[in-house]
Amino acid sequence: MTPDLFSPLDMRDTTAPNRVMVSPMCQYSCEDRDGLPTDWHRVHLGSRAVGGAGIVMSEATAVEPRGRISPEDTGIWSDEHVEAWQPVTAFIAKEGSIPAIQLAHAGRKASKRRPWEGSTPVQPDSGGWETIGPSGNAWPYDGEAPPHRRMDHDDIETVIESFRTGAERALEAGFEIAEIHAAHGYLLHEFLSPATNDRTDEYGGSFEDRTRFLREVVSAVRDVWPDEKPVFVRISATDWIDDGESWTVEQSVRLARGLYEAGVDLIDVSSGGIAPASYPDEAGPNYQVPHAERIGDGTPEDLLVGAVGKITTPEQADGIVANGRADLAIVGREHLRDPYFTIRAADQLDALDRVDVPPQYDRAF
């Protein structure tokens, strides 16, 4: 039978009850700038599990302190973080969803204020820190950027090890899926894109060398993540820069093939973020779905693909899956507007018998 939005999704020995995933969305809400999730995170993520989403993914969670986007971002770099995340994952799992974590490093886009505070840089004397990246070029802020430097080989090895230990701690914290964040202009994407990677060593230049860092991170995570549990990678399929010197969909297809060989189970397909204006002027519904479809068509059949970007209606999400454009509908902002999007979708698509509506909410349906 053709899968639809409410078909289970098998990933190794993990089965999501449906094809809806809560996209990782930063909350910028750690209270003491210590990276520890709070009651906000437990309620925010837990309510989406109550709402029926098959997979509930955390925000970009830094594998080391300098990998945070803002000082208020979550982390997974200490045992204290493990303990803080455990009640969150336990509640998500209790409600029948799969708890997932996005392991991240912000690279040169780190150390800035929260969006509602202007997203301006935070200097070290105000609680910020030195940022790192493949080149010596800081993020092009209008004002003064935080201190920034080009990563040397020791830095690269340190970050790879941080992803490894972050994955180990995520497993101990109760997460069932690990996603590696290699999109949106953050550190791993900065190495992938010729627009930001001007290195001349084995981590820059050719496609093989620019993708080496990500491949080594994937290998480190896959080494410690159990064989029966899936690993995802989020990529920006294109930089949206038409200059012949940026990351393209063709390179994304080639990368996805290599990631499949390295043990990745799903490519989470987003786009843009490598530069301040690197998004299309007019981004309508499903604007990134063609990228997901192209990657799916160009890679082995059992490599799963997720589509994200302005998916707002049940019919739209169901159509993406039922028409074979992607295996997973990844829903972001609509989940902010409606934590119960999946139950509502089941109601509208006459599929309520295929979701577990909490008995406390039965009277609404």
- 1 occurs within a structural domain: no
Cα of 128 vs its chain's centroid, Å: 23
Q: Quick check: 280 pLDDT over 90?
A: no
Query: What spatial distance separates the first Cα and last Cα of the chain, rounded to whole Å?
Result: 27
pLDDT at 243: 81
Mean pLDDT of 219-237: 98
Q: What is the pLDDT of residue 354?
A: 95
d(CA 52, CA 359): 13
Report how far residue 334's alpha carbon sits from residue 138's, in angstroms, rounded to the nearest whole number: 33
**Tell me: the pLDDT tens digits for 161-177?**
999 999 999 999 999 99
Q: Is residue 357 part of a domain?
A: yes
Nearest to 212 by CA among 223, 200, 203, 201: 203
pLDDT of residue 125: 97
Is residue 113 very low, low, confident or very high in pLDDT (cuts 50, 70, 90)?
A: very high
* Residue 259 counted as domain residue: yes
Q: Is residue 313 part of a domain?
A: yes
Q: Is residue 278 part of a domain?
A: yes
Q: Is the pLDDT of residue 182 over 90?
A: yes
User: What are the pLDDT digits (tens) for 183-206?
Assistant: 999 999 999 999 999 999 999 999
So which residues are the catalytic ones?
186
pTM score of the predicted model: 0.97
Q: Is residue 348 part of a domain?
A: yes
Assign 3-state DSSP to the chain and report helix, strand, coil percentages, each to 5: 40, 15, 45
Nearest Cα neighbor of 35 from 26, 43, 22 is 26
Reported as a pLDDT band with limits 50, 70 and 90, residue 44 is very high
Res 242 pLDDT > 90: no
Mean pLDDT of the chain: 97
Per-residue pLDDT at 351: 96
d(CA 134, CA 72): 24
pLDDT band at 1 (very low <50, low <70, confident <90, very high): low
* pLDDT tops 70 at residue 104: yes
Tens digits of residue pLDDT in 319-341? 999 999 999 999 999 999 999 99
Task: Give the Å distances, CA to CA, from 157 to 70, 197, 210.
Answer: 23, 17, 15
Domain count, the chain: 1
CATH number of residue 238's parent domain: 3.20.20.70
Residue 358 forms part of a structural domain: yes
- Grade residue 216 by pLDDT with cuts at 50, 70 and 90: very high
Specify if 3 maps to a domain: no
Residue 292: which domain range? 9-364
- Interval 246-262: pLDDT, tens: 999 999 999 999 999 99
